Amino acid sequence: MTAGVHVSGTTRLYAVLGDPVAQVRAPMLLNPLLAGLGADAVVVPVHVRPGDLADVVRGLTRAGNVDGLLVTVPHKAAVCALVDELGPAAAVTGTANAVRREADGRLLAENFDGLGFVRGLRAAGRPVRGAQVFVAGAGGAGGAVTAALLAAGAARVAVRDPDAARLAGLLARLGEGRLTGAYAAGPGDLAHAGIAVNATPLGMRPEDPLPFDPADVPPGALVADVVMKPHETALLRAAAALGRPVHHGIHMLQQQVPEYRAFFGWPAQRDAESPQ
């Protein structure tokens, strides 16, 4: 378990916005880090229904001691319309998972999901350069993962999404961002993938169907999930039962921590590079 955090009148706040929000890991991951850095700051969950996102973002960012927002499903795209500026990954993906207030009061949003995912693959010893990847989901996480994989040198990324307009929009933005190599997945792409990624929310609820069948993935190919809760999703359990190597969703968040630290200007780390 995590150590407790101390809250007083001087404490600075970071809010994690999601719907649902009960599953978010950021408070348990980041609060011990902040405490270890000696920062008087706490990350709290904020449950925001889609119709309330604009009001909640406005209210929180008007508060003088709210220094940043972390944004998760289903708000990663909608939040981009509520800020003044998008960082490069947010501009390409049309989604963001972090918002900070600049000194002049303007709001800047950026997306660190993709960078965290690629860092996670590297930390697990999986080469990205030259890889052939299948990504299920062209939403916030799928776009971020695809853009970062391409920027990191993946050869081809086949993206599948039942929402054709969403998929086309992502491919267009990737092209505008000069990230080439992504395309709409066809029937054979899963069978040729070296890495197959679930970037949909499927797996958060016990009744969800699998985002894809891990039996269709070649033996030796990595089956990766971006869903963090449950830790062992039905997809990863099925893949492991078939002998496929698996990669858990928590890595994407853990490997974003150094990026958050830089983005939010947290003090330099005292101990290890990565939290446990």
Catalytic residue numbers?
76
CA distance 39 to 34: 5
Q: What is the DSSP string of 210-260?
A: PSS-GGGSPTTPEEEE---SSSS-HHHHHHHHTT--EE-THHHHHTTHHHH
In the region spanning residues 218 to 247, those forming contacts with a second copy, defined by CB under 8 A, are 229
Closer residue to a second copy in complex, CB, 44/238? 44
Which residues in the 96-135 window bind a second copy by CB under 8 A?
none
Please report how close the Cβ of residue 43 comes to a second copy at its closest, in angstroms: 7
The answer to whether the peptide bond before residue 230 is cis (omega within 30 degrees of 0) is yes
56 binds a second copy (CB under 8 A): yes
276 binds a second copy (CB under 8 A): no
The residue from 33, 48, 131, 185 that contacts a second copy (CB under 8 A) is 48
**Quick one: which of 9, 187, 206, 220 contacts a second copy (CB under 8 A)?**
9
- Residue 73 as a binder of a second copy (CB under 8 A): the answer is no
* 3 is an interface residue for a second copy by CB under 8 A: yes
Q: Taking CB under 8 A as the rule, does residue 81 contact a second copy?
A: no
62 touching a second copy, by CB under 8 A = yes
Token pair in block for residue 108: 């800047």
Half-sphere exposure of 212 (CA within 13 A, CB side): 29
Distances (CA, A) of 144 to 5, 100, 106, 220, 261: 31, 19, 23, 25, 19
Please identify, using beta-carbon distances, which residue of 9 and 186 lies nearer to a second copy: 9
d(CA 8, CA 25): 23
46 lines the binding site for a second copy (CB under 8 A): yes
Is residue 6 part of the contact set for a second copy (CB under 8 A)? yes
Distance (Å, rounded) from C-alpha 28 to C-alpha 3?
Answer: 9
Q: Which of 49, 192, 205, 231 binds a second copy (CB under 8 A)?
A: 49
CB of residue 82 to a second copy, shortest distance in Å: 12
Name which of 150, 117, 132, 113 is nearest 220 in CA terms.
132
Query: Applying CB under 8 A, which residues contact a second copy?
Result: 1-11, 13, 16, 18-19, 21-25, 27-28, 31, 42-49, 52, 55-60, 62-66, 229
